[in-house]
A and B are shown apart, each in its own frame.
Chain A
Amino acid sequence: MSPLSPYLNLDPKYLVQDTDEFILPTGANKTRGRFELAFFTIGGCCMTGAAFGALNGLRLGLKETQNMAWSKPRNVQILNMVTRQGALWANTLGSLALLYSAFGVIIEKTRGAEDDLNTIAAGTLTGMLYKSTGGVRGIARGGIAGLTLTGLYALYNNWEHMKGSLARQSL
């Protein structure tokens, strides 16, 4: 295993310490925090929403105009539907992601820790605030939706870890 001669009076373990270490600037975190990822999250949600909304608009437009002959008014109507739905979904998902990121950053900074609890709390608060104009029932519904989604995400994120610990317990 060791390329060094055994006559050298040293343990080669000390020579190769850890190959997976990166040199970081002083004061830098090892992983990116929520603030550095916030813009990426928002942009990703916005673009996903635009793509999904465009597809949805195409579907709706085709369904609504299926009795019409293939003509210019029909094309225009479908195109209008696509752009309107695309903008609607992009705006909705983008503002949801904006709220989520803002809550995530605030929670992370106030707690001073970063784990999946932050994700779940930020998601729940986002749902509650987004539905906050719909009364108590709306707030509860939005909070539960956010809690479910982010809880599922946290489960998915920790799946390997949890499976490992379960297997260890059963052994």
Chain B
Amino acid sequence: MEEYAREPCPWRIVDDCGGAFTMGAIGGGIFQAIKGFRNSPVGVNHRLRGSLTAVKTRAPQLGGSFAVWGGLFSMIDCSMVRMRGKEDPWNSITSGALTGAILAARNGPVAMVGSAAMGGILLALIEGAGILLTRFASTQFTNGPQLSEDPSQLQPPPFSDYRQYQ
């Protein structure tokens, strides 16, 4: 992905929904194609037909479930951005946990807690990977120490504590 930046907030919901649908539909399509191929009766023709049927029926459904997840996640994320007035990884982690909890709401409180933990941990992993990647990428492009003739002119850089998220 070249220079893919996230959209500003209300539109981010639509964007995330679409991204999640794409992910689910394509991933589910591949998975279901293999599964349908293996579960069909013997014969290449039968197997291909079974694979096609499985993809046609299941891939859009899986995409839809992913889209619900992504849309709800993004809605909570945007609400938190609005309420807290800042964007940081905690927003994503909290909204992942809340999304998991809400979508498991009909399975009882125990399932809600488990699902929330899953969502939170998953999003924490993703955010952590993003931060690590940004750190790693930023170490590649440092300018090196600025050498000065007079040591008394040295000053600490003004934004030394600046950490870039996302």
Interface positions of A (Cβ within 8 A of B)? 25, 28, 36, 38-47, 87, 90-92, 94-95, 97-98, 133
Complex CA gap A41/B7 in Å reads: 13
For B1, the closest partner residue in chain A by CB is: A35
A46 to B70, CA, bound (A): 12
**Contacts beyond the supplied A91-B64, A98-B26: 17 A-B pairs with Cβ under 8 Å:** A38-B18, A39-B22, A40-B11, A42-B17, A42-B22, A43-B15, A43-B67, A43-B71, A47-B14, A91-B61, A91-B63, A94-B60, A94-B64, A95-B63, A97-B18, A98-B21, A98-B25
Name the residue of chain A whose CB is nearest to the CB of B14.
A43
Confirm or deny: B89 has a beta carbon within 8 angstroms of a beta carbon on chain A.
no
B38 at the interface (CB under 8 A from A): no
Of the A-B pairs whose beta carbons lie under 8 Å apart in the complex, a sample of 19, sorted by A's number, is A36-B4, A38-B18, A40-B11, A40-B15, A42-B18, A42-B19, A43-B16, A43-B21, A43-B67, A44-B14, A44-B18, A46-B64, A90-B67, A94-B25, A94-B60, A94-B63, A94-B64, A95-B63, A98-B63
* B150 CB-CB contact with A under 8 Å: no
**Which residues in window 1-55 of B have CB below 8 A to A?**
3-4, 7, 11, 13-19, 21-22, 25-26, 52
Q: State whether B18 touches A40 (Cβ < 8 A).
A: yes
Min CB distance B15 to A, Å, is: 5
Chain B contacts of A25 at CB under 8 A? Answer: 3
Closest A residue to B49 by beta carbon equals A133
Within the complex, what minimum Cβ distance (angstroms) separates B125 from chain A? 22
B146 CB to closest chain A CB, in angstroms?
25
CB <8 Å contact, B67 and A28: no
**Residue with the greatest number of chain A CB neighbours at <10 A, chosen from B15, B21, B26, B67:** B21
- Taking CB atoms, residues of chain B closer than 8 Å to A46 are 17-18, 21, 64, 67, 71
Asked if B52 and A94 make an inter-chain contact with CB atoms under 8 angstroms apart, the answer reads no
**Given A87-B64, A133-B56, A95 contacting B71 (CB threshold 8 A):** no
- Most chain B CB neighbours (cut-off 10 Å) among A36, A44, A87, A98: A98
Complex Cα–Cα for A39 and B11 (A): 11
CB distance from B18 to the nearest CB of A (A): 3
Q: How far is the CA of A36 from the CA of B64 in the complex (A)?
A: 21
Cross-chain contact B14 with A95 (CB below 8 angstroms): no
Chain B residues whose CB sits within 8 angstroms of the CB of A39 once the complex forms: 15-16, 18-19, 22
What's the minimum C-beta distance from A97 to chain B, rounded to whole angstroms?
8
Any A CB within 8 A of the CB of B97: no
On whether the beta carbons of B21 and A42 are closer than 8 Å, the reply is yes
Q: Which of B22, B56, B71 contacts A98 (CB 8 A)?
A: B22
CB pair A43–B17 under 8 Å, yes or no, is: yes
B59 at the interface (CB under 8 A from A): yes
Complex contact B14–A94 (CB within 8 A): no
Q: Which of A38, A90, A97 contacts B64 (CB 8 A)?
A: A90
Q: Evaluate contact between A40 and B61: CB separation under 8 angstroms.
A: no
Interchain residue pairs A-B with the least CB separation, the first 6: A43-B18, A42-B18, A43-B17, A91-B60, A39-B18, A43-B14
